[in-house]
Amino acid sequence: MSWEQIYQTRVKSKIKFVPQDFYEKFKKFLESKKWEGIFKKDRYEKYYYHKLTPDGLLFVEAQWEMYKNYWKEEPKIDWKMEITILINAYNINTLVGDLDISIKSYHNVEEFKEPDTSKAKGVESFLLSIGYKNIMKKLVSNLEKVRGKNKLIEMSGRDLYNSSEEIKNWILDYFK
């Protein structure tokens, strides 16, 4: 798969917050927007590391990854978002710490794949003998003309950008 990056931003703040509350509300927000976690499940954390010092300072690094299908037909378009959450020197007594969240969004446009004809048997070999492969190529070509493949890719990029901005704004609103 070839993912094209559409969006990248960073949100930084030194603020009072409760990490667990943020995680839970953020996850609910993503689910309400139909984002799916890793392996199409409700688990978004790809990587998580934390360290608590004897002074009561917490350091957290978490990598979240989520997916969403934008267009199910040819050309199939999927979205992917990677969110890195860094919490530095979070004081568990005062609930204040440095927060650094980075968001990267990508889309993948999957082109029409020609069927594997090397192992064709029965109905498949019959369809190939009457030119099924050429018919499918022509059909896909006509669909791309009617649908405007480039327009669809442009729409995906615009909608993914807007969705990424919506997530960034939710994060900013949460920490107000």
pLDDT of residue 55: 93
How deeply is 176 buried, as exposed, middle or buried, from its count of CB atoms within 10 A (0-12, 13-18, 19+)? exposed
Give the span between the Cα atoms of 150 and 148, in whole angstroms: 6
Burial track 2-23 (b if 16+ CB lie within 10 A, e otherwise): eeeebbeeebeeeeebebeebb
pLDDT of residue 42: 76
Question: pLDDT tens, position by position, for the chain (176 residues)?
Answer: 689 999 999 999 898 999 999 999 999 999 999 999 987 777 899 999 999 999 999 999 999 999 999 988 877 899 999 999 999 999 999 999 999 999 999 999 887 565 555 555 665 565 566 666 666 666 556 555 555 667 888 899 999 999 999 999 999 999 88
Alpha carbon 84 to its chain centroid, in Å, reads 13
Report the 10 Å Cβ neighbour count for 167.
23
pLDDT of residue 1: 60
Edge-first strand listing for the sheet containing 96-110: 4-16, 96-110, 76-91, 57-71, 45-52
Q: Model's pTM, two decimal places?
A: 0.77
| Parallel/antiparallel/unpaired status of strands 96-110 and 76-91 | antiparallel
| SS3 label, residue 62 | strand
